Structure 1
Amino acid sequence: MLIDAHCHLDFPDFDADREAVIARARAAGVARFVVPGTTRARWSNVLALGERDDVSVCLGLHPYFMAEHREEDLEALDAALDANPQVVAVGECGIDARFEASWDAQWHYFDAQLRLAKARELPVVIHCVHANDKVAKRLRQLDLPAGGLIHAFAGSPEQARKFLDLGFVLGLGGAVTFDRAKRLQRAVVSLPDDGYVLETDSPDMPLAGHQGERNEPARVAEVCRVVGRLRGQSADKVATDSSATARRLFNR
């Protein structure tokens, strides 16, 4: 059994054929989907998907969409977490250093969401681009009791170890399938069996050979095969280990 631990099935990219996408994923062995929130406007769509037996949901404010966030969205998130105990994590939140103009605002929203997660002892789903060391330092300072997921990890073995030591697991997706990703692949080899989950970030983060295409949860099976090849393990073992870690992290 596979779990896609991070996919945006609520996005409009799937409005025309969402059920077919889910059916293809199930045919590929994907039994569960974790759908994170990105903006307040989309939380209702995420929560609606969470009514399905095979979907777990998170709520958060993504750093990519800073222009859409407002200060009152943090209060709304606080209230939404209280009103929806089925939510398994706070996120997607984090820091994207590609957008320097919003750097201070990103940290403001990120810190606020980390504190909401800490107060509720919920894990956090973290988007971290070109900021691994700074994010790890902040997580160490806050000492979050439930840890979380470093989504789409693309760092070094040393950075991976820092996050693992803080009680986080790493999300492995399409980036590991590219031959040029040697540093990331070394990190994948270095991970303990319970240190990672598999994900697609659908509709984004396409796999090697699928550039320019809409990504789908079904392709987590291909990520699984690549991770197994890198680690010298069977795809069945990688599926079993990663799914167990996802269930433990999200308590589902």
Structure 2
Amino acid sequence: MRFIDSHCHLDFDELTGNLTELMSDATASGITQFVVPGISLAQSKRLLAFGKKHPSCHIAFGLHPYFLTEQSREEMAQLADLAEQHRGKLVAIGECGIDSQCGDLALQQALFKSHITLANRLGLPMIVHHRQSHHLIAQAFKQISPQFGGVIHAFSGSLQQAEYYVKLGFKLGLGGTITYPRAKKTREVVSRLPLSSFVLETDAPSMPVLGCQGQINVPVRLIDIFAQVCQLRSEPETEVAQTLYATTCRVFNLTSLG
């Protein structure tokens, strides 16, 4: 079985010290490709070299709501220019989104809409961050409709919210959250929506699975997440794996990238 970690920050300091070993462990478990999102202008620029050095890593450009500053409006314009120049090297726009627990919400909303516009212009999917902000994301999508779908990163929410995103052409990113029994609503979503609605992700080095709290998360934990999905589904393991892999390839157009 083959897998793709559709969201991991392999360029973060917590992982770079033993990145070769971590990627080798992942590959040995069948995880052959990785999507590494952007979080800031400076880091998005560095991802160009990172992606060239690690061909199994596919990159995206974005401004994460955690890292927005007074300069972010100007940086968004620069990010858009950079994305235009390197559009053939990108598989998505993001990580972007709205987080009600941090920063200036008006700024977040404005920049999120800029990301939607950029993704539409470049014909790319989006990687969307949310936290207690589904209603704000829906408002933005109503104002500027995303044309190429993408992934709702670390989806956590109700069946109704999940169905809304899927109807818009998005897939739901399943990570460590679903390994926790308390995530009842999200686990119900996994069991009830079509299997083609989901992709797997670790968010390494963050979002550890059950039993690994307090530890640095690593890509090989994708296998634990996959095992949890299988427990929540009725399809055979091989079918679950094949569908998740194929869905991720379609979202990010990875078949044309190798």
Equivalent residue for 2:190? 188
Does structure 1 retain, via aligned residues, the 8 Å contact 2:84–2:122?
no
Count of residue correspondences: 251
Equivalent residue for 2:6? 5
Alignment of 1:73-88 (within 5 A): 73-84=75-86, 85-88=88-91
Q: Does 1:98 align with 2:98?
A: no
Partner Cα separation in structure 2 for residue 231 and residue 45 of structure 1: 39
Does structure 2 retain, via aligned residues, the 8 Å contact 1:39–1:69?
no
Equivalent residue for 1:46? 47
Partner Cα separation in structure 2 for residue 115 and residue 177 of structure 1: 34
Does structure 2 retain, via aligned residues, the 8 Å contact 1:121–1:144?
no
Deviation (angstroms), 1:175: 0.1
Letter in 1 for 2:48: L
Partner Cα separation in structure 1 for residue 46 and residue 163 of structure 2: 35
Does structure 1 retain, via aligned residues, the 8 Å contact 2:195–2:243?
yes
Secondary structure at the aligned position of 2:196 is classed as coil
Partner Cα separation in structure 2 for residue 48 and residue 231 of structure 1: 39
Deviation (angstroms), 1:131: 1.0
Equivalent residue for 2:65? 63
Does structure 2 retain, via aligned residues, the 8 Å contact 1:6–1:33?
yes
Deviation (angstroms), 1:68: 7.7
Equivalent residue for 1:236? 238
Partner Cα separation in structure 2 for residue 69 and residue 4 of structure 1: 31
Partner Cα separation in structure 2 for residue 116 and residue 25 of structure 1: 32
Equivalent residue for 2:92? 89
Equivalent residue for 1:161? 163
Deviation (angstroms), 1:69: 5.0
Q: Does 1:20 align with 2:21?
A: yes
Does structure 1 retain, via aligned residues, the 8 Å contact 2:4–2:34?
yes
Q: CA RMSD in A?
A: 1.3
Partner Cα separation in structure 2 for residue 179 and residue 232 of structure 1: 18
Does structure 2 retain, via aligned residues, the 8 Å contact 1:37–1:92?
yes
Secondary structure at the aligned position of 1:219 is classed as helix
* Identical-pair percentage: 38
Partner Cα separation in structure 2 for residue 198 and residue 177 of structure 1: 12
Partner Cα separation in structure 1 for residue 194 and residue 181 of structure 2: 22
Does structure 1 retain, via aligned residues, the 8 Å contact 2:112–2:140?
no
Change beyond 3 A, Cα 1:39–1:68 = farther
> TM-score under structure 1 normalisation?
0.96
Q: Does 1:116 align with 2:114?
A: no
Letter in 1 for 2:27: R
Partner Cα separation in structure 2 for residue 94 and residue 46 of structure 1: 19
Deviation (angstroms), 1:103: 0.9
Give 5+ residue unaligned stretches, structure 2: none
Give 5+ residue unaligned stretches, structure 1: none
Deviation (angstroms), 1:143: 2.0
Secondary structure at the aligned position of 1:8 is classed as coil
Partner Cα separation in structure 2 for residue 114 and residue 121 of structure 1: 10
